[in-house]
Chains A and B, each alone.
Chain A
Amino acid sequence: MIQKAFMAGLIFGVFPELLGMLITKWNKNEHRIFLNYIYGIMIEFAVTEVFAVPLIILKKPFHILSAYWLMSCIILCMISIILNAFNIKDIFKRFIESLKKIHWTVILVVLLVLSQAFVLTRYAHIDNDDSRFVTYATIAIQQDAMYTKEYNTDAIDIVELPMRDIFSPFPMYTAIVAKHLDIHPAIVAHTIFPAILIPIAYMVFWQIAFALLEKDMVRANVFCVIISVIYMFGDFSDRFYFTHLLYRIWQGKAILANIVIPMSLLVYYECATQNRIINWISLYIMFIAGCLTSQMGILLLPICIGVLTVIYMIKYRKISYGIKSLCAVMPCLIYGFMYLLMK
């Protein structure tokens, strides 16, 4: 139990904060604790994607991916500690000071977010799509195989890798977390991920609001109150992404629609308005993370950023935005091209 709690603290607490500092050190944002966390989780996703795709294509066992992932995260965290040694104390000091003057809207937002996370952690939303996603994660843990076993029945031997899934192996991230926490992947997906990912989605919304609303914390809180009501009343269609946040957040496509795409919009907005190298690098990392979450990410993210690039290229009259966007979107183009060739 203590070991599980320690590993949970490491994977969902220490790693994201330290990994995120690799980016936020240079983009000079205030209120970095949330931003660190979001970037950190995106870096965890990106590391998974970078190692998982070649290892899956080479039909290597899962424990190799798990070991590489942990090693990479530890190395990156050590680099972050070296680079940010003097800043870590300041970040937490600033956060604790902001807690001293809590506005009533903060309490409202926290209550809304925690209650949404609690409902999905406590109750079950039964979804048959998990028979694919969660089963792949369980196969990785129980049979040490990545997409080389048929998920549906396992009654037939797999001849070809499932092209649809290997370039967006989010279940492998679920399996990595399950392995290091020593908890069954179905429990990680259905019970632990809602408690972590729903608050992350609201951290993203808060950061977007903070950036767009003149860095006013109270307005950002009001924004989060309104958006949480929108999501709670978003059951008008099961085909729209509102429902995916509140009852299927453990699936890659839900993370893509509710975390990666909104965060990509924010990061691109910062790329366009600040135009620092670190902004474009963080966009690049976002796209690798987006490729992990879903096959749709490989297609949707370039469309999203393509439209934004055209708009801001015209606004700022800078062709360099197009070149930088093209570089940032390279992961999607490479994985997409590989998918079309191998299909």
Chain B
Amino acid sequence: MLEKISKIFDKIINIPEEHINDGWFNIKVYFSRTIGNGWMFILYLISVIYILVKVKDKNKKCLLAIYPILLSFIVFCPVTHYLVDPILDNTYFRLFWLFPVGITIAYAGVDFIYTFSKKYIRLACLIGCITVIMLCGKFIYTEANYTKVHNLYKIPDEAKWITDIISEDEEENKYVLAVPEVVPYMRQVNTDIKLVYGRDVSEMYVWWWPTQVKNGNAKEMLPACKKKGVTYLVLYNNVELNDLTYKYGYHILAQTYSYDVYKYK
């Protein structure tokens, strides 16, 4: 335990110089990816300046204007990056989540609207603020972000059907080799299903299993499955396999729109 504590202190005190330069570069990259087109952050900056100049209440000024300014010195510091990035597992951009962007812009907007006394001017300012926000941002309700599915589990319908097919089958040992598109969802529904490879591998087609599945390389894939004791296969129905599955004991169990489910008998 003492050794670990001394390692932590050593890391804090002795910072290699190359980490400072790398830190600047990484922070810039993280920041540019976080702000997207940058317009919302410009709006945020304008709001912070507005609050600094216009708002009289010092407590509110401290919370909404001074706090982000001081926070910037910490977040944009390469030393912070050096200490924190390994703990955050290369997700340093999440430090930018400490900036209360939405709250500050909305507060500045309301404060600006209520500088006017007439109701119709306030309404016009509100519409103006909303228009500016809409122009600076990007609408979230698109087909890319939301899908209509026909199950309450909110996973792709075919993944649900395949999970149900395998779950309802009487075989007790449910060891499945599946296509990468279905792998992340099966164990969310039924944890009795074991997988040959998981989500982390399914997102990298260079790994052996997803590559064999994608290429339909039954000659290499199916003997390996049999050796591992795989009891179910979920394969693409539009990819031709280079060998017959029943030669290795895998017979078709069910079919969906895009996939064939095989069972070892």
Contact of B98 among A205, A226, A261 (CB under 8 A): A261
A235 to B140, CA, bound (A): 5
- A179 interface residue per 8 A CB criterion: no
Contact of A240 among B36, B89, B189 (CB under 8 A): B36
A231 to B109, CA, bound (A): 15
Tell me whether A222 and B113 are in contact (CB under 8 A). Answer: yes
Smallest CB separation, A62 vs chain B (Å): 12
Q: Chain B interface mostly helix, strand, loop or mixed?
A: helix
Which residues of A have CB within 8 Å of B93? 239
A131 to B102, CA, bound (A): 30
Interface string of A307-343 (1 = CB under 8 A from B): 1101110010000000000000000000000001100
A227 to B107, CA, bound (A): 9
Which residues of A have CB within 8 Å of B110? 209, 213, 219, 222-223, 226
- The interface-forming segment of B13-21, B59-67, B241-249, B250-258 is B59-67
- B4 interface residue per 8 A CB criterion: yes
Tell me whether A239 and B34 are in contact (CB under 8 A). Answer: yes
Interface string of A130-165 (1 = CB under 8 A from B): 111011001100110000010111110000000010
- The interface-forming segment of A33-41, A46-54, A184-192 is A184-192
Contact of B196 among A153, A222, A233 (CB under 8 A): A153
- B146 interface residue per 8 A CB criterion: yes
- A110 interface residue per 8 A CB criterion: no
Smallest CB separation, B90 vs chain A (Å): 12
- B84 interface residue per 8 A CB criterion: yes
Tell me whether A138 and B196 are in contact (CB under 8 A). Answer: no
Tell me whether A236 and B35 are in contact (CB under 8 A). Answer: yes
Which residues of A have CB within 8 Å of B142? 235
A121 to B75, CA, bound (A): 35
Contacting B at CB under 8 A, from A207-235, are: 208-209, 212-213, 219, 222-227, 229-235
A149 to B194, CA, bound (A): 11
List the B residue with the shortest CB-CB distance to A221.
Answer: B110
Contacting B at CB under 8 A, from A13-45, are: none
Contact of B146 among A124, A131, A224 (CB under 8 A): A124
Smallest CB separation, A246 vs chain B (Å): 5
Number of interface residues of B (CB under 8 A): 86
Known: A124-B155, A253-B94. A236 touches B37 (CB 8 A): yes
Tell me whether B153 and A125 are in contact (CB under 8 A). Answer: no
Tell me whether A131 and B184 are in contact (CB under 8 A). Answer: yes
Interface string of B106-145 (1 = CB under 8 A from A): 1101100110000000000010011001101111111001
A208 to B200, CA, bound (A): 39
Among A223, A253, A312, A341, the one with the most B-chain Cβ atoms within 10 Å of its Cβ is A223
Known: A151-B187, A187-B153. A164 touches B140 (CB 8 A): no
A123 to B154, CA, bound (A): 8
- A278 interface residue per 8 A CB criterion: no
A237 to B33, CA, bound (A): 7
A235 to B197, CA, bound (A): 32
Tell me whether B102 and A227 are in contact (CB under 8 A). Answer: yes
- A262 interface residue per 8 A CB criterion: yes
List the B residue with the shortest CB-CB distance to A241.
Answer: B97
Q: Chain A interface mostly helix, strand, loop or mixed?
A: helix
- B224 interface residue per 8 A CB criterion: no
Tell me whether B103 and A152 are in contact (CB under 8 A). Answer: no
- The interface-forming segment of A73-81, A265-273, A282-290 is A265-273
Tell me whether A341 and B62 are in contact (CB under 8 A). Answer: no
Report the contact-size class of chain A (Cβ under 8 Å from the partner). 35 or more
Tell me whether B189 and A184 are in contact (CB under 8 A). Answer: yes
Known: A124-B149, A341-B1. A315 touches B58 (CB 8 A): yes
A340 to B196, CA, bound (A): 32
- The interface-forming segment of A82-90, A92-100, A297-305 is A297-305
- B88 interface residue per 8 A CB criterion: yes
Smallest CB separation, B7 vs chain A (Å): 9
- A57 interface residue per 8 A CB criterion: no
Contact of B184 among A130, A269, A304 (CB under 8 A): A130
Q: Residues of B at under 8 Å CB distance from A?
A: 1, 4-5, 8, 30, 33-37, 39-40, 58-60, 62-64, 66-67, 70-71, 74, 84, 87-89, 91, 93-98, 100-103, 105-107, 109-110, 113-114, 126, 129-130, 133-134, 136-142, 145-149, 152-156, 175, 183-185, 187-200, 203
Provide a sorted-by-A list of 22 A–B residue pairs whose CB atoms are within 8 angstroms. A124-B148, A126-B156, A130-B188, A131-B184, A132-B199, A138-B187, A151-B187, A154-B187, A187-B152, A205-B102, A222-B113, A223-B106, A229-B130, A229-B134, A230-B137, A235-B145, A239-B30, A241-B97, A269-B63, A299-B88, A307-B67, A311-B70
9 closest cross-chain pairs (CB), A and B: A233-B137, A152-B198, A236-B36, A190-B154, A237-B36, A131-B184, A124-B154, A131-B199, A235-B140
With A239-B34, A273-B59 given, name 17 new contacts (CB 8 A). Answer: A123-B149, A128-B199, A153-B187, A153-B196, A187-B153, A223-B106, A223-B110, A225-B130, A230-B102, A230-B106, A234-B102, A240-B34, A257-B97, A265-B63, A303-B98, A310-B70, A340-B8
